[in-house]
A and B are shown apart, each in its own frame.
Chain A
Amino acid sequence: MSDKDKLLLRLQMAEFSAFETALFLDTHNTDPDALAYFAKCRNKAKELEREYVSKYGPLRIGQDESEKVWSWSKGPWPWEYSAN
């Protein structure tokens, strides 16, 4: 597993934990433990995303800082074997 794939997996884990907690919060919107856990996962995910984007390029439109080239449409796209 490459460093890129390892970082991506850590990001996927942090984001999934945040999202899973978000579903719980949709029906328990004042649960203090869930709110704290969401914040923790979200902060971790934000930090990992910043690192991933700075090293390997944008995950969403607009995260590309360069004014010389639009790297959004570069491959591989996420469904390709080489991207996983």
Chain B
Amino acid sequence: MFQYNKKLEYPVKIKQANPALAKLIISQFGGPDGELGAAMRYLSQRYGCPTPQVKGLLTDIGTEELSHLEMVCAIVYQLTRNLKPEELKQGGFDAYYIDHTTGLYPVAASGTPFSAATFQSTGDVLADLHEDLAAEQKARVTYDNILRLADDPDVRDPIKFLRAREIVHFQRFGEGLRLEQEQLDSRNFYAFNPQFDRRQPR
């Protein structure tokens, strides 16, 4: 079961509002490589995972992604404080404002609402872990892109933390993949799905 901790994983304290930047960073809430998709991906995949350590890894990283989603929302929330109508317009935040005011809604920077079609849960641990490795790299690229466009050190600092977590998760998923492969036929890792097929007697 899940229980809420009344603190962020890493502090978010942004002095200066910036709706233009909020419009970009919100992609890591509801975009194709965002934290909501990451959390749902790992927390869905863990049921189809055969090995206790990797079930644990998917549970723990999936849970951390929920904390990252909260940090991204905190960044967007603080970047859209006390805005005047002209600031909304200048920042290109006016279209979002019409639909959601300054509420947090999971969308991509391009305006597309969050979709579960951005991730998979296949019930095949090798397919899932390879997707997870790719997902961590794609999220890292998104944070790199944000860092190229964000000047404010108050924003850059938590974004750099989130970027570093993508790299750590990539490393741990690589180890998870190795753990799973050690339990499979080293001459043919794909001979059977450990969750669905019975191992052929030797």
Q: Which residues of A contact B (CB under 8 A)?
A: 61, 72-79
Which of B47, B56, B60 is packed against the most chain A CB atoms within 10 Å? B56
Q: Which residues of B contact A (CB under 8 A)?
A: 1, 46-47, 52-53, 55-57, 59-60
Chain B residue contacts of A73, Cβ below 8 A: 52-53, 55-57
Task: Decide if A75 touches B55 in the complex (CB within 8 Å).
Answer: yes
Task: Decide if B47 touches A74 in the complex (CB within 8 Å).
Answer: no
CA distance A56 to B42 in the complex (A): 26
Distance (whole angstroms) from the CB of B59 to the closest CB of chain A:
7
CA distance A58 to B1 in the complex (A): 13
Task: Decide if A75 touches B52 in the complex (CB within 8 Å).
Answer: yes
Query: What residue in chain A is nearest B55 (Cβ atoms)?
Result: A77
Query: What residue in chain B is nearest A59 (Cβ atoms)?
Result: B1
Chain A residue contacts of B60, Cβ below 8 A: 61
10 CB-based A-B contacts, threshold 8 Å: A72-B56, A73-B52, A73-B57, A74-B52, A76-B52, A77-B46, A77-B52, A77-B56, A77-B59, A79-B47
Query: What residue in chain A is nearest B47 (Cβ atoms)?
Result: A79
CA distance A78 to B52 in the complex (A): 11
CA distance A61 to B60 in the complex (A): 9
Distance (whole angstroms) from the CB of B17 to the closest CB of chain A:
30
